[in-house]
Structure 1
């Protein structure tokens, strides 16, 4: 089933007879993008399970949130719609906009790596009609690419990660009144990250990782998910695939050696996992990089 079918903001737009979906794409890494036009409509978003960044590409001066009728949109205005938020929108006239949809798992990975913080401590602040020239420029570049072409989709994914990182640095704050219990100590998180990164070519068992923290496997798995925002096996796989991307980009190693360096038993196993994650095979990914 397509990732887009599970995105509530996407589905809310798609269900309206007033909207037109110009194009959409799954960019891999828990990311998806869409371009829309809409006119004379009303849209409500009720606690989506994903984050959404949006940019008005044209129009929007007749668009407002129902509870804030005097604040209006415009070209290059940005909106940040966090997972779990609620909003109601009125669209008068015509608007063209781009959406970037971000899974909570991808947000968690970015928070761990960029901020070295537990994702549960952080919240993406809601934002309406923001001015941010850098983010608007990234959206403009994204809208000019052919998402169906492998090399352009690669660049689209790079731009999407730039949008996420910028949002983390500018729109993320610590949750107010949060009392964090459980989880791993910062020193344990850092030790685990460094150990996993240094041993990606080796088999990594839950027992081995739990032993680093002197915890039982069951307790460790629960504490890891609290601190990293995803289970240990999914975190390790994400790091293996990220390492694979770096080797494909910066080395001429044969695909079989890339697979072994990333801890995959075979090139075919690596190929299948990579394609599931990034919507392209390792060979296509490397070829796209070479054409850039």
Structure 2
């Protein structure tokens, strides 16, 4: 079973008539796949992840069963949120690229880009829309060599840009949700600002809990409820994201970046970075720094 099979849409296509041309995990919680299909019918039922797709070739006879008059075409985009349901008919030939990203990546984007609790935020479902900038990114992704380390890092950068654009352009507040529990808005803002200002220092659950006058256990539960990630996971991710930014936009030595982002040693930093980005910090800088 392919390594991406935990993405339900990928798994569903793997068991359909569709042919997988290639696939790769391009960052933690994000993966790409190029498919071709013809004369098929398939459907997705409440996947636990988000999918953004772009038609590369064909698709003129492809439609959703609930929208039979709305047909696909090259360069058309589809946004399929987690928990959505859709049924598709493929008449003729079709070639397309999918970007899969898990709910943790969506949660991080909601907090980072929108300053909003992820549970209050939804990604809007869209079918066959025109967005030239997003299409250009998908086209660029389809032409890169996903097995070549440097180009794989460019894939990661483009995939993140697609996700950020979708969050900013196609998400909004849930209208049907009564938000209960979790951290108050001012507590969330204070904590996240504090974390950002102290990423170079040890950040214990006890210390963070004290800032909002909660027990460590209760704080961890409230943080997870509000942010969508456990506190230690959020802190590690923000450290890695800051490190990636410094690698691309500064000339600091790797050891300095490690310390400024709260890693105990350069080797610990390198191991964590490689796990998240699929490359060492040095290779990442070489590929993306300008």
TM-score (norm 1): 0.95
Tell me what 1:6 maps to: 6
Q: Give the conservation status (yes or no) of the 8 Å contact 2:55–2:73.
A: yes
Tell me what 2:269 maps to: 270
Residue 222 (str. 1) matches residue 187 (str. 2): no
The CA deviation string for residues 30-82 of structure 1, in whole angstroms up to 9 with x for no partner, is 11111111011111111111100001111111111122222111111111111
Tell me what 1:96 maps to: 95
Distance, in Å, in 2 between the alignment partners of 1:108 and 1:179 is 18
Give, in angstroms, the shift of residue 168 of structure 1: 1.1
Q: Secondary structure at the match of 1:71?
A: strand
Structure 2 CA distance for partners of 1:23 and 1:110, relative to 1, 3 Å = same
Q: Secondary structure at the match of 2:268?
A: helix
Give, in angstroms, the shift of residue 163 of structure 1: 1.1
Tell me what 1:51 maps to: 50
Distance, in Å, in 2 between the alignment partners of 1:85 and 1:157 is 25
Distance, in Å, in 1 between the alignment partners of 2:3 and 2:104 is 13
Q: Secondary structure at the match of 1:227?
A: helix
Distance, in Å, in 1 between the alignment partners of 2:166 and 2:271 is 31
Q: Secondary structure at the match of 1:89?
A: strand
Give, in angstroms, the shift of residue 3 of structure 1: 4.9
RMSD, aligned CA: 1.5
Structure 2 CA distance for partners of 1:289 and 1:167, relative to 1, 3 Å = closer
The CA deviation string for residues 256-284 of structure 1, in whole angstroms up to 9 with x for no partner, is 23222211122221111111111111121
Distance, in Å, in 2 between the alignment partners of 1:231 and 1:160 is 24
Tell me what 2:180 maps to: 181
Once the two structures are overlaid, the 10-residue window that deviates more, 108-117 or 151-160, is 151-160
When the two structures are aligned, how many residues end up with a matched partner? Answer: 290
Distance, in Å, in 1 between the alignment partners of 2:172 and 2:244 is 30
Give, in angstroms, the shift of residue 2 of structure 1: 6.6
Structure 2 CA distance for partners of 1:286 and 1:57, relative to 1, 3 Å = same
Q: Secondary structure at the match of 2:71?
A: coil
| Structure 1 unaligned regions, length at least 5 | none
Distance, in Å, in 2 between the alignment partners of 1:245 and 1:47 is 33
